[in-house]
Chain A
Amino acid sequence: MVLLVLGAALLAAGLYVLYLDRLVVTQFEGRRWTLPAQVYAAPLELYGGLPLSPPELEHELQRLHYRRVDRIDHPGTYHVAGEHVEVALRPARFADETRPAQSLSITTAGAKGIESLHDGAGQEVPVLRLEPLLIGSIFPIHGEDRIVLSPEEVPPLLPQALKAVEDRKFDTHHGVDPEAMLRAAWVNLRARQIEQGASTLTQQLVRSYFLSSRQTFSRKLREAVMAMALDAHFTKADLMNAYINEIFLGQDGDRAIHGFGLASQFYFGKPLSELDLPELSLLVAIVRGPSYYDPRRHPERALARRNLVLKQMADQGVIKPADATAASHRPLGVTSRPAGAYYPAYLDFVRRTLRRDYRDQDLTEAGLRIYTSLDPRAQDEAEHALEHELARLDRQHKSRTEALEGAVVVTSPQSGDVIAIVGGRNVGYDGFDRALDAHRSMGSLVKPFIYLTALESGRYNATTVVQDAPVDVKLTGGKHWTPENFTHEVYGPVPVVRALAESLNLATVGVGLDLGLPKVAETLQRFGVQQPPVQVPAMLLGAVDVTPIEAAQLFNGLANGGFRNPLRAVRAVISADGKPLKAFPLEVTPVASPEVMYQLDRMLVLVMDHGTGRSARALLPPELVVAGKSGTSSDYRDSWFAGFSGSHLVVVWVGYDDNEPTGFTGSAGALPVWAHIMAGLGTSSWNAPMPESLVEVHIEYPTGLRAVPGCAADIVAVAVPDGAAVPPHPGCGFPEGASSTSAGLLDRAQQWLRSVVH
């Protein structure tokens, strides 16, 4: 009987051991073959004429963790000598090319930017890109990130140091170290609690897999069995490599820092292979307690532990005692802020793009390399401006306890590249992504599309006088729709350009009703609105829900001269062995004629000079030409601004997550954010060529009457079709009956003739 019970117990124990064996081996195999997709930002193209000042160039090199040295030696260093910057470039992999390490000499022309580039042999290089910044990986477990290193990428000193400090018998034990366990057990028994750990690296690895820090005796036993199982199935080298990629080394908000590869970026801002002895020793020191020995929060503790690690390494003969002593006198050397970019909202967009073509498993395990359009400079500007301005707006609205939220999308209009996405003011937080998921009323952002439809009808131009008069639309069910202007005033007859620039609701509704709702809805769909808008009159005031990224898609067509291109975050996907798997090539589709677009865009320029965007002028470089439109939804729930320069489109949304009124318009909420971003991008002026069938005319802004500069107050220039009838201002001395712009044609013909004859 006793034997039977004993036998059954043994059998049960045996089965349990087998179960643990399968569990841990499966976990290890799964992790070992898990190579998360690595995501890269757009590489910075360097060429003569690039307006990148020496400090900006240095900042970009440092973003890529290049170190400034007195003399460049190994890849990853640079040296500044007067106008010349010498760079030892690391080997780089691009979507379309692999490049070995090489040296590059950059000649700068002061603040004007880069003058020329030369290679190591002194040959001029017309164009060369820096390696793309790694911006993250796509991992199956939410909030976990790591940079997976192959054994060859790990400095040989690291495994030696880990063994010397954490597990001296690693090479010979069978997963557990009974002697050390007994010693620790004795200490712990006397203290009646767990005081001393004696875990081998293998046991620590097991603990990391099953994410438990609770230390009970039964758990310890389970851990020991699993460690022995791992040791029996895999080589020491495999286990060491898994440990180096797996172990927990820090916390960055919601992001857990796993593995030495990412920890090196997180604490020192450079790759593991470039760490020196004291830096590497610090990472080994942190293993024992990433929060207790956090070098940013507890530098003294971390320093003491690092020096202990150095001493142990010297004692074990891993390093020379003299080197240990020298290293002990070095500072910790950690960066003040967690280095390494983390852009969850952008990664979210990348992930969604790829999910159309790839299974989750492909993205998290197949070792893909994903090249994106992210511009870290634009991303930094957008994040900083949103954080800063929302904090300022919150201070203005102290009555609200809840914090304002916002989202930003930045694109390069001609290519359709999405170069920055901010999903909320807490930029590092991988949570609700407003840029992609906040469906909000577009408000007055709809107006450019109404006036575009009007221009296309051929019955309107910028100077056409429309009536800003009370509107009363009888809806089905006997109700009446009686919209008002934001000022609650009625402006009477106004030219189209003013109705748009000042975002007059009544005038716009009048035009929209004249054109018909289906026409306006069709324009919105042509430019890329996702859902067909519900055709109710309120649609004309923006009762159309869009996400910020969708608003960016719509305005990108305006910024790109009437060509629509699908917004892209991903440029190419490359397999683990370097084969191109998928490209997202640039595509353009004409959706509006260049003539109509030019007329509209010129009016949107006037929004910035005369209309709801003019307060941005103080924040922008004085000579920069930009175009844009504010958007305010009903009851001030949403504050939008969408606008573009010659090379960038920026869309900003500001509001409360619970859709409560904010109390400010697009001009007061989103516009300052927009202007700060635009000013910081180093962008170029909007400068589309005027199509040859259009002419530029000057009009009196309040009335739309044709004028010449100086003959009346408040004169603006607009583009109209050649021959369009524009009634002359009586005070401007136009000849009797000269209502057509073709009179101007004659003037200009004479001017041109004079310029030719001279």
Chain B
Amino acid sequence: MDIIPRMHSRSLLTALIATAVLAGCTLFRSPPAPPAAPGGGGMEAGTSQPAQPAPQAPAAPAPEAPTPPATAPPRQFHLGSATSALVTQAHQQAASGDTAQAAATLERALRIEPDNPLVWIELGRVRLAENNPAQANAMGRKALALATGDPAAQSSAWHLIADALRARGDNGGAADADRRAASLAPH
């Protein structure tokens, strides 16, 4: 079993998430400003430099052992059959240019599975198509909060956030969010 590489990637992953999470907090508090990414805004959460060790645990002895997931074992979100059918329908509606209908259909799906980050990501994608990057970004963040423990879903959420930031002209933040997405994506 290739335990070691897995653990390694996981500890990196956790550090990344911790950084992301801390960066996310900059929306709400005013910690020392993180170094702004070149060409980036610096206000948006995603613009802080990634891949630094989580500064929130400096007092902790750097654990030699890999860091396990903080909550339950890793999970993988998928769509139930009802929501899956609605998401398919929404894709068709969006493809034919009817984003309002697609959004309404996705809201039906969300009422059935409100805690499924994949549905929030779908709705965020429609908001992006409607040229509403602010809501796309917010829904990406909502998905991210729900996706804890599912790297694939977290990665999709970061991709959505990246696209939303890009649509707002925040290329630095977008690149940063893309890196987070890539680091979480299954290899």
Which of B34-42, B65-73, B164-172 is found at the contact surface with chain A? B65-73
Contact string, B133-148, partner A, CB cutoff 8 A, digits 1/0?
0010011011011111
Query: By the criterion CB–CB under 8 Å, are B81 and A692 in contact?
Result: no
Query: By the criterion CB–CB under 8 Å, are B80 and A49 in contact?
Result: yes
- List which B116-138 residues lie within 8 A (CB) of chain A: 123, 135, 138
Query: By the criterion CB–CB under 8 Å, are A586 and B110 in contact?
Result: yes
**How far does the Cβ of A96 sit from chain B's closest Cβ, in whole Å?**
5
Known: A45-B111, A412-B111, A593-B28. A96 touches B104 (CB 8 A): yes
Set of chain A residues within 8 Å of B25, measured between Cβ atoms: 593, 595-596
- Is B182 part of the contact surface with A, judged by Cβ < 8 Å? no
Query: By the criterion CB–CB under 8 Å, are B85 and A594 in contact?
Result: no
User: What separation, in Å, do the CA atoms of A129 and B22 have in the docked complex?
Assistant: 42
Query: By the criterion CB–CB under 8 Å, are A690 and B70 in contact?
Result: yes
**How far does the Cβ of A589 sit from chain B's closest Cβ, in whole Å?**
6
Query: By the criterion CB–CB under 8 Å, are A693 and B70 in contact?
Result: yes
User: What separation, in Å, do the CA atoms of A690 and B84 have in the docked complex?
Assistant: 26
- Is A587 part of the contact surface with B, judged by Cβ < 8 Å? yes
- List which A55-82 residues lie within 8 A (CB) of chain B: none
Of the candidates B17, B29, B70, the one whose C-beta lies within 8 Å of that of A695 is: B70
Of the candidates A646, A689, A693, A753, the one whose C-beta lies within 8 Å of that of B56 is: A693
User: What separation, in Å, do the CA atoms of A571 and B3 have in the docked complex?
Assistant: 50
Known: A414-B110, A415-B107, A586-B107. A722 touches B21 (CB 8 A): no
Contact string, B58-89, partner A, CB cutoff 8 A, digits 1/0?
11110101111111110000001111111000
Of the candidates A583, A690, A723, A751, the one whose C-beta lies within 8 Å of that of B104 is: A583
Chain A CB count within 10 A is highest, among B84, B103, B104, B146, for B104
- Is B43 part of the contact surface with A, judged by Cβ < 8 Å? no
Q: What residue in chain A is nearest B138 (Cβ atoms)?
A: A588
- Is B14 part of the contact surface with A, judged by Cβ < 8 Å? yes
**How far does the Cβ of A588 sit from chain B's closest Cβ, in whole Å?**
5
Contact string, B14-51, partner A, CB cutoff 8 A, digits 1/0?
10011001101101110000000000000000000000
Query: By the criterion CB–CB under 8 Å, are A593 and B27 in contact?
Result: yes
- Is B155 part of the contact surface with A, judged by Cβ < 8 Å? no
Known: A47-B81, A572-B104, A749-B65. A587 touches B135 (CB 8 A): yes
B interface residues, how many (CB within 8 angstroms)? 61
Q: What residue in chain B is nearest A564 (Cβ atoms)?
A: B138
- Is A95 part of the contact surface with B, judged by Cβ < 8 Å? yes
**Range of interface residues on chain A?**
35 or more
Query: By the criterion CB–CB under 8 Å, are A753 and B65 in contact?
Result: yes
User: What separation, in Å, do the CA atoms of A755 and B141 have in the docked complex?
Assistant: 31
User: What separation, in Å, do the CA atoms of A367 and B54 have in the docked complex?
Assistant: 59
**How far does the Cβ of A718 sit from chain B's closest Cβ, in whole Å?**
14
Known: A689-B149, A692-B17. A647 touches B29 (CB 8 A): no
Set of chain B residues within 8 Å of A647, measured between Cβ atoms: 114
Query: By the criterion CB–CB under 8 Å, are B69 and A752 in contact?
Result: yes
- Is B112 part of the contact surface with A, judged by Cβ < 8 Å? yes
User: What separation, in Å, do the CA atoms of A111 and B147 have in the docked complex?
Assistant: 31
- Is A631 part of the contact surface with B, judged by Cβ < 8 Å? no
**How far does the Cβ of A128 sit from chain B's closest Cβ, in whole Å?**
9
Set of chain B residues within 8 Å of A593, measured between Cβ atoms: 21, 24-25, 27-29
- Is B185 part of the contact surface with A, judged by Cβ < 8 Å? no
Query: By the criterion CB–CB under 8 Å, are B63 and A749 in contact?
Result: yes
Query: By the criterion CB–CB under 8 Å, are A749 and B70 in contact?
Result: no
Set of chain A residues within 8 Å of B14, measured between Cβ atoms: 692
**How far does the Cβ of B155 sit from chain A's closest Cβ, in whole Å?**
14
User: What separation, in Å, do the CA atoms of A742 and B54 have in the docked complex?
Assistant: 13
Set of chain A residues within 8 Å of B144, measured between Cβ atoms: 594
User: What separation, in Å, do the CA atoms of A751 and B70 have in the docked complex?
Assistant: 12
- Is B108 part of the contact surface with A, judged by Cβ < 8 Å? yes
Known: A691-B145, A694-B70, A749-B67. A757 touches B3 (CB 8 A): yes
Query: By the criterion CB–CB under 8 Å, are B59 and A745 in contact?
Result: no
Q: What residue in chain A is nearest B14 (Cβ atoms)?
A: A692
- Is A621 part of the contact surface with B, judged by Cβ < 8 Å? no
Q: What residue in chain B is nearest A751 (Cβ atoms)?
A: B68
Q: What 5 new A-B contacts, CB under 8 Å, besides A48-B81, A745-B60, A753-B66?
A: A47-B82, A561-B146, A590-B142, A594-B144, A687-B115
The 5 closest A-B pairs by CB, nearest first: A752-B68, A742-B60, A47-B82, A126-B85, A414-B114
Q: What are 13 of the A-B contact pairs (CB < 8 Å)? A: A45-B108, A126-B84, A127-B86, A415-B107, A415-B111, A590-B28, A692-B71, A695-B70, A722-B70, A723-B59, A742-B61, A745-B60, A748-B68
